[in-house]
Amino acid sequence: MSVFKTNIGKWLQIKSLEADGLYHLTFAEHHIGNVWIRSIHGGVSASTIELCAEAETQKLLEEGQDVTVSTGTIDYLRITKDADIFAKATIVRKSKRLSIVDVVCWQDDEAIPVARGSVTLRIG
């Protein structure tokens, strides 16, 4: 099952786009972290990065294999606003037991990223 069909996937409102490795979070009021400047919660961006890394790895799994996030490191590059987030996931390395995925997030312009993350996942 796609990670986006889970409860957390539905709460985040993420879907996979047709372009390779591209994902889209539809903004919702419950994504707000700082209510005064209406920026998206840092944990929402981080969770989005983890789910996108997981979804990208799921595409390469063999029958019966599963994947879970082991470690995520997120850099917050700019203040977000109350708007949709796009994410691009790139698999840096996939071995039999591990997958390392880089994810970049932006809102208005891919050239102006709001966050980036490196996620290590365990394949079992």
Partner 1 sequence: MTKAADHPAQLLFTDKHPLTADLKMKFEGVVDHTLTVTLNAPETFADQDGIHTHTGFSTLFLDTVMGSCVLGEMENPQTIATIKLTTNHLGKAKIGEKLVCRATFQGEENEIAYVSGKILASKEERLIATAIGTFMVGTATKSIREKS
Asked if 35 interacts with partner 1 (CB under 8 A), we say yes
Three-state secondary-structure class, residue 90: strand
Name the one range near partner 1 by CB under 8 A: 16-24, 40-48, 88-96, 98-106.
Answer: 40-48
Asked if 36 interacts with partner 1 (CB under 8 A), we say yes
DSSP state of 8: H
Phi, psi for residue 28 in degrees, rounded to 5 = -135, 155
What does the alpha-carbon distance between residue 124 and residue 111 come to, in Å, rounded to a whole number? 35
Residue number, 76 or 102, with CB nearest to partner 1 = 76
Q: Quick one: which of 98, 101, 107 has its CA closest to 51? A: 101
Looking at residues 57 to 76 of the shown chain, list those that interact with partner 1 (rule: CB under 8 A): 68-76
Q: Enumerate binding residues for partner 1 (CB under 8 A).
A: 1, 3, 6-8, 11-12, 29-39, 41-44, 46-48, 50-51, 68-76, 79, 81-82
